[in-house]
Every structure is written in C-alpha cells, then in structure tokens.
Amino acid sequence: MKPSGIGGQAVLEGIMMKNKDKYAVAVRKPDNEIAVDVKDCKSLADKHKIFSVPFIRGVFAFIESLVIGIKTLTYSAEFYEDEPEPKEKPVDKVTKKMFKEKAEDFLMGITVLVSVAFSVLLFIVLPYGISELLKNGMNIRSNTILAVVEGIIRILIFVLYIFLISRMKDIQRTFMYHGAEHKCINCIENGYELNTENVLKSSRIHKRCGTSFLFFVVFISIVCFILVSFALPKNISIPMKAFVRLLLVPVIAGISYEILRKAGKSESKFMNIISKPGMWMQKLTTKEPDVSMVEVAIVAVEAVFDWKKFLEDNATDFEFTTEDNIEVDIETNEFDTIDVDFDDEDDIEEFKSKSEE
C-alpha cells in the first residue's frame, strides 16, 4: 500500500476529505444533488517549526482536526435544517459585539474546549474516579495494581461508548459514509482507478483512522499511568493524582499520533500487530456504504486530490497481487481477495488501459 497523504471524516450525509492545505466537504442534499465546498487550511506547522516537532505536532494536529471537523459538520447540517433560522440569542449579540469578525473563531474555540473537556472527563477522569471508589472495596494497596484496574475500566468505557453510539440510527448512516471515506482512500493507495466499482470492492478498514488513534490514546494512557505509579508516593492525595493525569494528556496524545503516523506508513509485522485492535474497533465505527455514498466520497476526493497523477507517479510502487485489493463481505465482515495478479509492468499497463476504457 502506498500512502497518499489524504484523510478525512464523515459528516451529516457527506464526507470531508483533506489533502495538505486544502479540504473539501461533499454533501448529498435533500434534492439528491451533491454540494461541494473547498476551503484552504493553513496548519500551524507551516507557520512555526515548533509545531512540526515530533510528539509536539500530534497535540496541535488533533486540535486542528477537531476545528475542521466541527466546521464541516456545521456546514453539512445546514442543508438539513427544517426549522426557520432562530432569533439571535443575547449571548450571540454580546459575542459579536466583543469579538466582531473574530466572533465565529471564538465560538469555535469554546466548542473545541468543551469537546476536549468531555473526552478527558469520560476517558481519563471517570475511569480514575471509579478505580478510586473500588480501591477500598477491593483493598488495593499498590498504585501500580490500581493503575492496571483503572486501565481495564478505561478500555471497557471506550468499547461500551463506541458500541452504544454505533447502535443509533442516525449515527449508523454517518458510519456508512465513514466506510465510504476509507474505501476511497484504500482504493487509491492500492493503485486502482477511483470509480464506484473499485471503491465498493475495497476495504472499509484503514490504519490511519481516528478510531485507531483513540484506541492508541487509551492504550498509551494505561502504559503511562502504570509507569508514573512507580514514581508517585503511596500517600499522594487524590486531587494530585488527578492533576498528574491531566498533565499527561498532551504527552499521551503526542505519542499516540506518532505511533499512528508510523503505523500508516509501515507494513512491518510489529506495526500490523499493534494496529489490529484499532482496526477491529473500526468494524463498529464503519459500515458498508451504498453507491450514492461512494459517489459523494469520490467527489470529495477529486476536489482536493489528483488521484490520476498519484497512480501515474507511483505506478512502479504498486504490486498488484491478490492481497492488494480487498473485498469485504457485507454480511460476514470476512475479507475475500479479488483475482487480480500481475507478473510484470506490461500487465500493469494493459490493466490500466482496460480500466480507462
């Protein structure tokens, strides 16, 4: 698989695709037409070198992805607002008066802070609080054992959270678009022409998915908290323990980001093994899309990425074997291979000419 550098996310009845300093949102409108919005997005790493330093860049990349994600979700939701636009609230008037043209950025910042705070409370603070409640009942004296119990609780909360939201009908359609996003990227990175037929045959599981990132965050947090437990005194106060965990959140995010980047570019056995749990979780966060969803995904890709040039530039890097293009059985979720096998470059050129026809 040849990394393309593109990524994205599902939005309401659509998909956002990002490539370098541009992102596009394609939305299937109620009248069945596809609306496309292309925006520039300059990363902080392009302006200041400090934000491109390994382990630091992951924290800011995560925040930037949250900002773009909220913007694109808001954009897609506008097509499905049935109610008339509500009257401007007093708080909105005050915000606009105070921040003027920066009011939208201010509100976006508040939304991001609330999102991050919710995630920290759910996956960091809540598991810690439950483990502290169990400490006396289970008579746990060791900080290390307590950290292990906390880690188990954190994994259970994460899996339960993903499972519950995956059962919601509205979210299920979003997860179908999520699957279409992955299928498009896999189709391109495996060296195949971007069309509905090839996309539908491609896998909906991808190493660089945000679900995998979240799983790495959960796993790395367990490791970090266990290691820190050795350095903390046994009589340390509960508020101080909680404070230490909050301080470690950026560190955990930075490490998780670097592992995800490495996993997305590597086919080593070790990276494949550590990527498996996150990819298993994607069976919950992605669903098989229909043709109309794949069409939306293709439009989003083509708005920001020249996939034809990518295939042309990397033609010699693709090894067309039965392992490269994967078809997922919708009912069983089992992986079946497609009978495509090329022995030399002449076969590859012949396949490309037939695909163009």
Please choose, from the candidates 277, 301, 253, the residue with its C-alpha nearest in 3D space to the C-alpha of residue 66.
253
**What global pTM score does this model have?**
0.79
From first to last of the 357 residues of the chain, give the pLDDT tens digit.
678 889 999 999 999 999 989 999 999 999 999 999 999 988 877 777 888 888 889 888 888 888 899 999 999 999 987 655 555 555 455 555 555 556 566 666 787 788 888 888 888 889 988 988 888 777 777 778 888 899 999 999 999 999 999 888 889 999 999 999 999 999 999 999 999 999 999 999 998 899 999 999 999 999 998 888 888 777 788 888 888 888 999 999 999 999 998 988 888 899 989 999 999 999 999 999 999 999 999 999 999 999 999 999 988 777 654 344 444 433 333 333 333 333 444 444 544 454 444
Task: Judge whether 253 and 62 are in contact, CB under 8 Å.
Answer: yes
Alpha helices by DSSP H, 266-321:
269-285, 291-304, 307-313
Question: How far, in Å, CA of 214 to CA of 256, rounded?
Answer: 8
**Cβ-Cβ contacts under 8 Å for 234 (sequence gap 6 or more):** 141, 143
Task: Judge whether 33 and 39 are in contact, CB under 8 Å.
Answer: no
Domain boundaries, the chain: 7-356
